[in-house]
A and B are shown apart, each in its own frame.
Chain A
Amino acid sequence: MGYGSYLIRRLLYTIPIIFGISVLIFILTRVIPGDPVKLALGPDATPDMIAQARRIWNLDKPLYMQYIAFIVGFFTGDWGISLRTYNNVLADLARFAPATYELTAVAVSFSALVGILTGIVAATHKDKWQDHISRILSIGGVSMPLFWSGIMLQLLIASYFKLLPIGGRIGDGVTPPVHVTGFYLLDSLFSGNWIAFWSCAQHIILPAFVLSFPSLANINRLVRSAMIDQRSKDYVILQEANGMPRRLIVYKYMLKNSLASAITMIALMFAYSLGGVALVEAVFFWPGMGNYLVQAIHFKDFNAIMSVVVLVGIIIVAANFLVDLLYGYLDPRIRYGEER
């Protein structure tokens, strides 16, 4: 029992999941009727070229060997060559992935912060106007198609009011900051490049906000629900009966008790957002993995598709593990082995 073994168990669990993901995606992307190489090379390709290409991309070998080749390549840093860009997929990902993660990170952080705060407000002002507005906005947030709300906001704010740029990651004519992490916002801060920082910040606001909306809605609802739940908990009643000030009870005790489910939801929303980001990237011309994936699919670029999905899977599993860690820290019952 105890914290350590709990964590180790969780860690061990992640391995079959990633393995399963790789198998699943492998099946989905390799079992393709028709010949992706022929498609990629175009109508002028000679049979020789096609055969050569097939050899390069391992398509002449039986499926299980292709899979083994992929696994080996995974650990040696060779994630295959893209059918579309002819680059090493890993290199492609290194170019595009940071953009996506930056966008998703900003979006999820925003939704977590605002979601939790508005959830608390909605719970403490239950059934008053704050609660009603929050409810309507949340319903809208979850029901709205991301790409549609993106287009609408783009129309309104970028085109009509001209407050923010229409798309892209950084202004035309502004040089990107020196590459440290690939996260433009951080990189420009590190190098003190205020022009770049300002430009990137402006460009990221709209897509991040759009992406954050469904997550915000869900987190808001969850926190509200959890806090209202807490209000009827006995230990809160005890504190009330003994005359503790309301604000202390709400912001220290009730909040921390709600945090556990909140962070689980945040992790879930992070995963969900990594899907929705593809839509946001399409609307706002954001040069990220989402766009890369969609183009790869149109091209049947199986190496790229597989690598993107496995990478996303790894990130999600890592995020969940982090949440497990936090969860154990927040709730001592986990640590002391008490079954919930």
Chain B
Amino acid sequence: MVQRSLQLRRYMTASFFRLAGIPIRGTIKKSLRGISVLEGPQKYRLEGWKRATSRFRRNPLSTTGLVIVIGLVLMGLLADYIAPYPMDAKGRVDFINKLLPPSLEHPFGTDEAGRDVLSRIMFGARIDISSAVTVQLLVTFVGVVLGMVAGYVGGKTNVIIMRTADVFITIPPLVLALAATTAFTPDITTAILAVTIAWWPWYARLVQSVVLSVKEEQFIEASRAIGKSPLSIVFGDIFPNIVSVVTVKFTLDIGFVILFMASLSFLGLGVQPPTPAWGTMISEGKSYLPERWWMSAFPGIFILLAVIGFSLLGDGLRDAFDVQLEE
């Protein structure tokens, strides 16, 4: 299962959107292999910033992703200023105006405590995005460290680390995260920890395979022959490769972590009410279905938007860096 999973890793780590067949540079070059036209050198690593940004800008989808992400982030940051009823996200209740359908004063309606749904969604962006980024930072740290150790040291250490990762990966991520919340009282910190526990193995695997493939490249042998110290090899040669790959996956996954954490919150094991997080809001709104649909409907749209935005952005980054997450 591991071998084939490694094969499938190309489909899992490679973004879904690349699978969606959005044409990229590399595919054109491949079809020329039938004739041996003089090709430019194949670029596999981090390129100059100028070429990267121009390539990024050329792709309308990645710019869309960037726009969406910036939009959501700004919405969260500026929530205090742009939300019509900022106090609704900070504890104010107004039972007179409860359960109002969408209108001009309340574009997304109000919830069971009379709070404006739109404002809460805006403040929710803060919570969802920042907690997702926190998870990503933790996971990246753990994954990179373990992955590098496993890849570089190799041998038994590699086997132990990778097998442990396998055990984690076999359990469905949601189940694992749920189980991980058992030990503590459900709240946002627990959720962050739980998701980290479920998520880290993918990063460790990715980093380990990058390290392994770079290690095998001949220039490392050459470097060693010249007498470069191991540390300088690690930082000079291995690290830049890891940086580009991890940055792309980091960005790509933020959306999915938001989704994941919202799932936890929906089940009551993540962000607790009355904190406005998108998943929690959907769960709260569930009891008022089907007549008061707006409480559950609108936060979900934002989750959807976030996932799409970050995925497009991550894809664009990958194409810009010309990073090969697949062979």
Q: What are the residues of chain B within 8 A of A126 when measuring CB–CB?
A: 21
Q: Is the CB of A159 within 8 A of B183?
A: no
Q: What are the residues of chain A within 8 A of B308 when measuring CB–CB?
A: 139, 143
Which B residues form the contact surface with A (CB < 8 A)?
Answer: 1-2, 4-5, 7-8, 11-12, 16-17, 19-21, 30-31, 163-164, 166-168, 170-176, 178-184, 186, 197, 255, 259, 262-263, 266-269, 279, 282-283, 286, 289-290, 293, 296-297, 299-300, 303-304, 307-308, 311
Q: Is the CB of B178 within 8 A of A294?
A: yes
The answer to whether the Cβ of A155 comes within 8 Å of any Cβ in the partner chain is: yes
Q: List 19 A-B contacts (CB under 8 A).
A: A139-B16, A140-B304, A145-B300, A147-B266, A147-B282, A148-B296, A148-B300, A149-B300, A160-B290, A224-B21, A268-B8, A268-B12, A271-B170, A274-B172, A275-B173, A294-B178, A312-B171, A324-B4, A327-B4
Q: Is the CB of A145 within 8 A of B267?
A: no
The answer to whether the Cβ of A221 comes within 8 Å of any Cβ in the partner chain is: yes
Expressed in whole angstroms, the Cα–Cα distance for A145 and B263 within the complex equals 7
Q: What are the residues of chain A within 8 A of B176 when measuring CB–CB?
A: 309
Q: What are the residues of chain A within 8 A of B21 when measuring CB–CB?
A: 126-127, 131, 135, 224-225, 228
Expressed in whole angstroms, the Cα–Cα distance for A20 and B2 within the complex equals 15
Q: Which residue of B lies closest to A14 (CB)?
A: B1
Q: Which residue of B lies closest to A138 (CB)?
A: B20
Q: What are the residues of chain B within 8 A of A204 when measuring CB–CB?
A: none
Question: With A265-B8, A268-B8 given, is the CB distance from A320 to B178 under 8 Å?
Answer: no
Expressed in whole angstroms, the Cα–Cα distance for A180 and B307 within the complex equals 43
The answer to whether the Cβ of A59 comes within 8 Å of any Cβ in the partner chain is: no
Expressed in whole angstroms, the Cα–Cα distance for A308 and B178 within the complex equals 11
The answer to whether the Cβ of A169 comes within 8 Å of any Cβ in the partner chain is: no
Q: What are the residues of chain B within 8 A of A10 when measuring CB–CB?
A: 1
Q: Of B166, B268, B300, which is in contact with the most chain A CB atoms at under 10 Å from its CB?
A: B300
Q: Is the CB of A142 within 8 A of B16?
A: yes
Q: What are the residues of chain B within 8 A of A31 when measuring CB–CB?
A: 183
Q: Is the CB of B164 within 8 A of A264?
A: no
Q: Which residue of B lies closest to A146 (CB)?
A: B263
Question: With A16-B163, A155-B290, A271-B170 given, is the CB distance from A221 to B178 under 8 Å?
Answer: no
Q: Is the CB of B183 within 8 A of A28?
A: yes
Q: What are the residues of chain A within 8 A of B2 when measuring CB–CB?
A: 13
Q: Is the CB of B17 within 8 A of A151?
A: no
Separation in Å of the A193 CB from the closest CB of chain B? 31
Q: Of A155, A224, A317, which is in contact with the most chain B CB atoms at under 10 Å from its CB?
A: A155
The answer to whether the Cβ of A252 comes within 8 Å of any Cβ in the partner chain is: no
Question: With A155-B293, A265-B11, A320-B1 given, is the CB distance from A148 to B282 under 8 Å?
Answer: yes
> Can you name 14 extra interface pairs (CB under 8 A) apart from A13-B2, A145-B300, A309-B171?
A20-B167, A24-B171, A33-B183, A145-B259, A151-B300, A154-B289, A264-B4, A264-B7, A271-B170, A271-B172, A278-B267, A279-B266, A305-B179, A317-B1
Q: Is the CB of B184 within 8 A of A312?
A: no
Q: Is the CB of B178 within 8 A of A152?
A: no
Q: Among the listed B20, B167, B182, B255, which residue makes an inter-chain contact with A305, where contact means beta carbons less than 8 Å apart?
A: B182
Q: Is the CB of B269 within 8 A of A297?
A: yes
Expressed in whole angstroms, the Cα–Cα distance for A144 and B307 within the complex equals 8
Q: Is the CB of B178 within 8 A of A293?
A: yes
Expressed in whole angstroms, the Cα–Cα distance for A29 and B197 within the complex equals 14
Expressed in whole angstroms, the Cα–Cα distance for A313 and B7 within the complex equals 21
Expressed in whole angstroms, the Cα–Cα distance for A324 and B7 within the complex equals 13
Q: Among the listed A16, A221, A278, which residue makes an inter-chain contact with B20, where contact means beta carbons less than 8 Å apart?
A: A221
Q: What are the residues of chain A within 8 A of B262 when measuring CB–CB?
A: 145, 147
Separation in Å of the A228 CB from the closest CB of chain B? 7
Q: Is the CB of A145 within 8 A of B268?
A: no
Q: Which residue of A lies closest to B173 (CB)?
A: A275
Q: What are the residues of chain A within 8 A of B11 when measuring CB–CB?
A: 221-222, 225, 261, 265
Q: What are the residues of chain B within 8 A of A313 when measuring CB–CB?
A: 170-171
The answer to whether the Cβ of A215 comes within 8 Å of any Cβ in the partner chain is: no
Q: What are the residues of chain A within 8 A of B282 when measuring CB–CB?
A: 145, 147-148, 151
Q: Is the CB of B179 within 8 A of A28?
A: yes
Q: Among the listed B20, B168, B174, B182, which residue makes an inter-chain contact with A276, where contact means beta carbons less than 8 Å apart?
A: B174
Q: Is the CB of A274 within 8 A of B269?
A: no
The 5 residue pairs across chains A and B that have the minimum distance between CB atoms: A275-B172, A275-B174, A148-B300, A20-B167, A159-B290
Q: Is the CB of B171 within 8 A of A302?
A: no
